[in-house]
Structure formats: structure tokens, C-alpha cells
């Protein structure tokens, strides 16, 4: 499983199915395809080893292929034990020559063994989603980390971790916070999480959202997306928040806002999407209605306190439907948890659609180029990609959609750059 092995996937015979999915996703990732074409000849990543810890999906496969075609040597591990699509992993190995170390349902031990495997080839760049690979490269995997130029981070949770490391003075190399690019979080977090979370809940439960009460815990970009899409399907949506500005936005966006313990009495479906732990905890569990459904769309499985819920239960019935566990509470109520409290959109559905991952992964690709070009001059801090990259990604995406926009006239540009003209 470790360095001496060339891959660790569940079953290579699944490759043909995986390949179809990778090609389908690729058709819906035009910005990434343009980058592939642009850099295939010049190979700016030649000689660069990239270790990635991302959800092993068809969209990620397309990123790996693009990086490889641009000259990089790549290795891929999973950023969540339950999000790996085994057929995609198999196809990456068998059809595209990308060493993958990820199996759906891997244990925690195997998960870290796989991180070790991708680090063992001494990467120059780490690509991360949630921060586990980077933290590992700073701790147990330190021995493999001395050639690292820099890393990237895909998601809010990982960026929060790295900002904390920067503040504590423990960050050893620069990190590009891909999540902070506008063409990432405004689209992936909002429309990607919004749609795929609803998709995951529906695939797992076959509920009718119209008329049901959906409680969205957290009103960041992901929470906004979930609330928006749930409302779009006719749910009555309640938002819970700790941040007064976000709470106020939710109110003015037309949602009911209240403390989580109060919302617990009213909700049929709960979605945690805060990046924090124990957002749904014992006091909320005490108030839940019989039949309430709990799901998480935040990166880690800490948002629903499952230990506390289990302690309140006389028995836990696993798999009453795929991805649904029933917690039979002492007082007779039954509460359902989806996807073991892990990212419901990736566990019970297919994650964000390729159309939106296109922009996220175009930014990941550009971040890798940025680190190759600038890595040596950067400090061990968290960086955001320059605005021009956002503009270029947005222009390319608009062009792929056949949408044209206006340009400033010279007179307008001068006006914006001047200060003399007023009332």
C-alpha cells in the first residue's frame, strides 16, 4: 500500500465505467480543457511532482489529466474516506497512468497510509481539500516535505486551518487559497454545494422537499446555496447563524432565522454547513421531531455530534436505506442521519457538477503554475491568486456559455480613474 506500490485502488476492472464518467465530466469542463490545450505543448510543469489529496471524482480526474499533460508527475489520494468513486480511481490508474491511492470506505488508518504514499514521492507541490495532506506534511510526513515549494487549498475549512497555522507560526510553506478566488467560492460553494447537497438528500431519502421545513445551519456561501436551492424546491427554510451580519443577510434574503435549539422543534430536514463542530448537539437533539433527518455538507464529519446522539439512542439501525442510519432514541423518537454525517453531497450523490468544478479546478491548475513561477519568492503564508486570474477564468467560462459582455469606453475608463468630476 505504501511507496513500493504504484497504486491502491479497489478494483481495476471497474476502469471502463470510470473512463466513461471522466470523459463525460470533461465535456462539461471547457475552461479546464482550454488550459489543457494551451499548456500541452509548452509543458510548464515538466519536472514538477504534485501530490494531491482531493475527492476522487470524475472532475478531479480531469484536473489530474490536465496537470499531467502540462508535464507534471502526479499522485492522488482521497480527501474523504467515503467520497472516492472506485471506478474513477481505477480508470485513472489503468487508462491515464495516474497513480491513485484511495478506496471507497477506507479506514482512517488506510486513509493516512494513502497520504503517506502520495507524499513519499517527495512532491514540489501539494494540492489539498480540507488540509489533511498539508498538516500531515507538517507532522508525521515531515521527512518527505523538504522539497515542497508550496501548496494549494480547495475549501473553506482547509483555508481556516492554514490561517491558524500561519498565525501560530507553524506554517512551513506558502499556500494558495484557491477557495478565496471569486470564481471558486461564489460558484462552487454556492451553486455547487447548493445543488449537490439537495441532490444527495433526495437520492438518500426520496423525500418531497415542497412544504417541508429545511433548517440550514450556517449562512456562508455554501449555506446560502443550500438555502436558495431548498427554497427553490418549495421547502420552508430556516437559517441558524452565530454571525450577526450573516444572520441579518439571511433575514433580508427572506429566510426565518432563529437559534438552533428552537429550529430543532420545527425542522424536518437539517443541513449543517458551518465548518465548525457540534453545531447539532444534545440540546438540539432533545427537541427534534420524530422522523427528523440530519445531514452534513461541511467538510468534516464533526458538525453533527454523533457520539452524543448515539449516547441518547437505545439502538442504531444501519442502512435502513442506502446512506441512511436510524437512531432509535430512548423516548421512542427515531432520528435519521445521512451518510454517517459526512459530506452528504459527495457520499450520497456525485458532488458538485463538472460545470462548476470547471472553474474551481481551472483555479487549481493556475495555482500550480503560480507556485512553480513564484513559489521560491513567497513566504510561508496564505495567498490568494491575483484578480486577473479570476477575470480570465470568468471570461473563458462566459465564452464557453456563449455570453458576451460590454467593455468600458475610454471615456468611462478615464472617469473611473479620475476624481475631479463630481456633482
Residues binding ligand ADE (CB under 6 A): 54-55, 57, 59-60, 346, 351-352, 357
Give the total residue count for the chain: 423
Q: Are 337 and 328 in contact (CB under 8 A)?
A: no
User: Closest CB to ligand ADE among 79 and 117?
Assistant: 79
Tell me the closest approach of the beta carbon of residue 89 to ligand ADE, in angstroms: 13
Tell me the closest approach of the beta carbon of residue 137 to ligand ADE, in angstroms: 20
Tell me the closest approach of the beta carbon of residue 58 to ligand ADE, in angstroms: 7
User: Closest CB to ligand ADE among 29 and 238?
Assistant: 29
Phi/psi at 50 (nearest 5 deg)?
-120, 125
Tell me the closest approach of the beta carbon of residue 352 to ligand ADE, in angstroms: 4
CA dist 83 and 71 (Å) reads: 27
Helix (H, G, I), strand (E, B) or coil at 329: strand
Tell me the closest approach of the beta carbon of residue 115 to ligand ADE, in angstroms: 17
Q: What is the DSSP letter of 142?
A: G
Q: Are 279 and 260 in contact (CB under 8 A)?
A: yes
**Which residues are CB-neighbours of 284 under 8 A, at least 6 positions away?**
260, 261, 263, 264
For cell 471570461, the residue is 395
User: Closest CB to ligand ADE among 178 and 372?
Assistant: 178
Q: Are 108 and 34 in contact (CB under 8 A)?
A: no
**Which residue's C-beta sits nearest to ligand ADE?**
351
User: Closest CB to ligand ADE among 120 and 180?
Assistant: 180
Tell me the closest approach of the beta carbon of residue 195 to ligand ADE, in angstroms: 10
User: Closest CB to ligand ADE among 8 and 60?
Assistant: 60
Tell me the closest approach of the beta carbon of residue 54 to ligand ADE, in angstroms: 6
Among candidates 93, 101, 59, 105, which has minimal Cα distance to 77? 101
Tell me the closest approach of the beta carbon of residue 55 to ligand ADE, in angstroms: 4
User: Closest CB to ligand ADE among 297 and 302?
Assistant: 297
User: Closest CB to ligand ADE among 241 and 358?
Assistant: 358
Query: Please, which contacts does 43-47 make with residues 24 or more away whose CB atoms are closer than 8 Å?
Result: 43/69, 43/70, 43/71, 44/70, 44/71, 44/369, 44/372, 45/70, 45/71, 45/72, 45/368, 45/369, 45/372, 46/71, 46/72, 47/71
Which residues is 270 bridged to in the sheet? 215, 294
Q: Are 19 and 95 in contact (CB under 8 A)?
A: yes
User: Closest CB to ligand ADE among 22 and 213?
Assistant: 22
First-to-last CA distance in the chain?
71
Tell me the closest approach of the beta carbon of residue 419 to ligand ADE, in angstroms: 44
User: Closest CB to ligand ADE among 55 and 224?
Assistant: 55
CA dist 49 and 397 (Å) reads: 28
Question: Within its chain, how far is the Cα of 367 from the centroid?
Answer: 16
User: Closest CB to ligand ADE among 236 and 299?
Assistant: 299
Tell me the closest approach of the beta carbon of residue 328 to ligand ADE, in angstroms: 32
Q: Are 384 and 176 in contact (CB under 8 A)?
A: yes
CA dist 182 and 390 (Å) reads: 6
Amino acid at each position: 500500500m505504501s511507496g513500493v506500490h504504484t497504486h491502491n485502488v479497489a478494483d481495476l476492472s471497474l476502469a471502463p465505467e470510470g473512463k466513461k464518467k471522466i470523459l463525460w465530466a470533461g465535456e462539461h469542463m471547457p475552461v479546464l480543457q482550454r488550459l489543457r490545450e494551451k499548456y500541452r505543448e509548452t509543458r510548464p510543469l515538466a519536472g514538477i511532482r504534485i501530490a494531491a489529496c482531493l475527492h476522487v471524482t470524475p472532475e478531479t480526474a480531469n484536473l489530474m489529466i490536465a496537470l499531467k499533460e502540462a508535464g507534471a508527475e502526479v499522485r492522488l489520494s482521497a480527501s474523504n474516506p467515503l467520497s472516492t468513486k472506485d471506478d474513477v480511481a481505477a480508470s485513472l490508474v489503468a487508462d491515464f497512468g495516474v497513480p491513485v491511492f484511495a478506496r471507497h470506505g477506507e479506514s482512517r488508518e488506510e486513509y493516512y497510509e494513502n497520504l503517506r504514499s502520495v507524499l513519499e514521492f517527495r512532491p514540489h507541490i501539494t494540492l489539498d481539500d480540507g488540509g489533511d495532506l498539508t498538516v500531515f506534511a507538517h507532522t508525521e510526513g515531515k521527512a518527505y516535505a523538504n522539497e515542497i515549494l508550496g501548496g494549494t487549498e480547495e475549501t473553506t475549512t482547509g483555508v481556516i486551518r492554514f490561517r491558524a497555522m500561519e498565525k501560530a507560526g507553524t506554517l512551513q510553506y506558502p499556500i494558495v487559497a484557491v477557495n478565496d478566488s471569486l470564481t471558486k467560492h461564489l460558484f462552487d460553494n454556492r451553486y455547487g454545494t447548493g445543488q449537490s447537497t439537495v441532490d444527495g438528500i433526495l437520492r438518500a431519502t426520496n423525500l418531497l422537499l415542497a412544504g417541508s421545513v429545511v433548517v440550514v445551519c450556517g449562512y456562508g456561501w455554501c449555506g446560502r446555496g443550500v438555502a436558495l436551492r431548498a427554497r427553490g424546491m418549495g421547502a420552508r427554510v430556516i437559517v441558524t447563524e452565530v454571525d450577526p451580519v450573516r444572520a441579518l443577510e439571511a433575514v433580508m434574503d427572506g429566510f426565518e432565522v432563529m437559534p438552533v435549539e428552537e429550529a430543532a422543534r420545527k425542522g424536518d430536514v437539517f443541513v449543517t454547513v458551518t465548518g465548525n463542530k457540534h453545531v447539532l448537539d444534545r440540546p438540539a437533539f432533545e427537541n427534534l421531531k420524530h422522523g427528523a433527518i440530519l445531514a452534513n455538507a461541511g467538510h468534516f464529519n464533526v458538525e453533527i455530534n454523533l457520539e452524543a446522539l448515539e449516547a441518547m439512542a437505545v439502538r442504531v439501525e444501519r442502512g435502513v436505506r442506502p446512506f441512511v442510519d436510524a437512531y432509535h432514541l430512548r423516548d421512542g423518537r427515531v432520528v435519521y442521519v445521512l451518510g454517517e454525517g459526512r459530506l452528504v453531497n459527495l457520499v450520497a450523490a456525485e458532488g458538485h457538477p463538472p460545470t462548476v468544478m470547471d472553474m474551481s479546478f481551472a483555479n487549481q491548475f493556475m495555482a500550480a503554475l503560480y507556485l512553480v513561477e513564484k513559489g521560491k519568492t513567497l513566504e510561508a503564508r496564505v495567498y490568494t491568486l491575483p484578480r486577473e486570474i479570476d477575470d480570465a477564468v470568468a471570461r473563458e467560462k462566459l465564452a464557453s456559455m456563449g455570453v458576451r459582455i460590454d467593455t468600458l469606453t475610454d471615456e468611462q475608463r478615464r472617469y473611473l480613474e479620475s476624481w475631479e468630476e463630481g456633482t
